[in-house]
Structure 1
Amino acid sequence: MPIPVARPASARAVHGDRSTVYAQVIADSISPEGVRLTTLEVQCHRFVLSEFNTHRVFSRNSASSRAIPVRKQLQYLRDAPAIPLSFPQEKAGMQGGDELNSNLVEEARAQWLVARDAAIASAEKLVALGVHKSIVNRLLEPFMWHRIIVSSTRWDGFFTQRISPNAQPEIHAVASWMREALEASTPDAVAGGKGWHTPYIDEVTDDHIREAVGSSEDAYWTLRREISAARCARVSYLTHTGVRDIEADRDLYQKLVSAEPPHWSPLEHVATPGAHPTTVSNFDGWTQLRQIAELARTRT
């Protein structure tokens, strides 16, 4: 059967939207050796996250069910729940059959929302009992949208598997958006030796960094890397209170690297051209900030 793909007018128009599948390029770089590294922000149905996470060539971070307050999550689910893109007929095997007829599709959607309402009611009862959000939010995951930042130098395997007639419609949709975003983007050349791929650093942030550090190039690149990694951890330009704050970004970076154990994964999205001489990463031809920070930690 044809696989439906949700397609808003443009990725830019839906950036940050909590009610649809989307993908947007956040940073796109090419090394002197011609190796392209791209970072995308994507949103998909939470229930296909496990399929997304099977691709080991990706570095990724995503919004955590353990971190988002339950009240905020409940409001998201009331306003814009994630609903399957398709309701195929049951048949043997992993792929569904033809789409239900229109009347049955409407009934299926209604039953999905009945289940959503029941999950919300149970979540509210758990909140009243004082249960922590890390448990309560798990009840709500089938109805959540999920935002991910993903970086890679290799995409073909993912697209081959997920943009396929055999793929579940919801993973097919986000993979299609990702490929479209990559094809529409032109990478920026990054110089070897000092240049860096730094997602979530735009012109406004760059100006703030320059103001904060003055003329020191070393301090400039250090702060730029730290802010980028912190924002990758949040999957946002903004703090959780909805503002740009480079001091809050810097504080978060220090918490990431000083934690026991450290939270290294956001540092994987920040990278410089050239393979590291003594360590291996999931990027071709780029050294991740994680590799550098881990080595520095072992030497202290």
Structure 2
Amino acid sequence: MTALVRTFDPKVKVVLDSISPDGIRLPTVQFRQPRMIHADFLTHRVFSRNGRSSRAVPVVTLLEEAKNPYVPHFLKNKPGMMATEEFSDKERALAEAIWRDMAEYTRKGVERLNDVGVHKQWANRPLEWFGYIDVLVTSTEWRNYLTLRDHEAAQPEIQQIAQAIRDALDASTPRVLQPGQWHLPYIEPDDYRIVLDYLRNGVKINPTPERQLEILKKISAARCARLTIKPFDGDGSFEKELERYNSLIVSQPVHASPVEHQATPDTGGVMVDVGHGPDKRKNRWHWDNRELHGNFRGWIQARKTIPNEWVPG
């Protein structure tokens, strides 16, 4: 089996790592991967995620990035989904040159589309083969993903990102949250003080803990949503963050994916017997608010507390 060659920097960051009193861990992870493998990542449906969008990033930004395209470590073709045989140095150089030529030809074509005035939601798409995507993921379920993807049978790029995520999670220590305490990605300790000042002096209302928490949940969601263009980097006023939240969550229809990353532990987490008789014993968790978990386990997801968060029918 060919040794895994690392071909990109995944830039994995555990944004926030929480665990419930019942021992259910909820990490939020930010990373960068080649855009061409993102469709494979989307098959993991238990993940709550946001990613950089070709519809949102300015064309000039992607054109600049495309000057240094992602180039795979190519292996020889064979039957099946796994490649194992290395090229000679000369053969690999030729394959990489062909790939770079395709990337440059595509970049020039996108440049021409941009000059004509074509909107970025179309002009940017051809560059997706050769670029990167920033992704934010929050989930209580990681084992299946890591077992499948941190594996020699996975495409090398997919294995690389899975290994990097596993390493980041192994190096992180989750903080215990009690019911009523919220997992809020991108919220820093100073933000609590700033929100108090915003409530007292900005909107001039009594800064109760409940009001403070509601603002912080909105700010967290807005900062998660910013990944559509680029990851949150510490800048931005609360007023603009709240405007972004209102444009996504308050307006209709609701664009609710950014409020899937905030959560609080549910109560009532006990194992109960739901079988029939001693030979058909079957245990499952009982929760007080299972209908509010969404795609989490043992955590109340902010999305499920938002009116009209989905359109039935």
Q: Distance in 2 between matches of 1:189 and 1:213?
A: 28
Q: Which residue matches 1:213? A: 199
- Quickly say closer, same or farther: Cα 1:49–1:246, change in 2 above 3 A: same
Q: Secondary structure at the match of 1:272?
A: strand
SS, match of residue 34 in structure 1: coil
Give the C-alpha shift of residue 212 in structure 1: 1.6
**Cα separation, 2, equivalents of 1:207 and 1:179:** 34
* 1:129 paired to 2:116: yes
What secondary structure, in the 3-state scheme, does the structure 1 residue paired with 2:136 have?
strand
- The CA deviation string for residues 245-297 of structure 1, in whole angstroms up to 9 with x for no partner, is 22111111111113332101110001111153434511100011100013699
1:243 to partner: Cα distance: 2.9
Equivalent residues of 2:293, 2:299 under 8 A apart:
no
For 1:142 and 1:91, the matched residues in 2 are separated by 22
2:296: which partner in 1? 283
1:228 corresponds, among 220, 223, 226, to 220
Q: CA deviation at 1:237?
A: 2.3
Q: In the alignment, is the contact (CA less than 8 A) between 2:254 and 2:310 conserved in 1?
A: no
Q: Which runs of 4+ in 1 moved over 6 A?
A: 295-298
Matching residue's letter, 1:25: V
Computing the radius of gyration over CA atoms, which structure comes out larger, 1 or 2? Answer: 2
Are residues 1:55 and 2:50 paired?
no
Matched, 1:145 2:132: yes
Matches of 2:126 and 2:34 in 1, distance apart?
15
The one-letter code sitting in structure 1 at the alignment partner of 2:249 is V
Out of 65, 75, 95, the position equivalent to 1:88 is 75
Contact 1:22 1:174 in 2 (8 A): no
Secondary structure (helix, strand or coil) at the match of 1:149 reads strand
* Alpha-carbon distance change, 211 to 65 in structure 1, aligned in 2, over 3 angstroms: same
Give the number of equivalent residue pairs. 280
Offset from partner CA, 1:110-141 (integer Å, 9 cap, x none): 22111111011110111122211000100100
For structure 1, list consecutive stretches of 5 or more residues without a partner in the other structure: 7-18
Cα distance in 2 for partners of 1:77, 1:97 equals 28
Matched, 1:112 2:107: no
Instruction: State the distance in 1 between where 2:152 and 2:124 align.
Output: 32
Shift, 1:173, TM fit? 0.5
The runs of 5 or more residues in structure 2 that have no matched partner are 201-206, 267-286
Structure 2 Cα separation of the partners of residues 203 and 109 of structure 1? 47
Change (3 A) 1:187 1:90: same
CA RMSD of aligned residues (A): 1.9
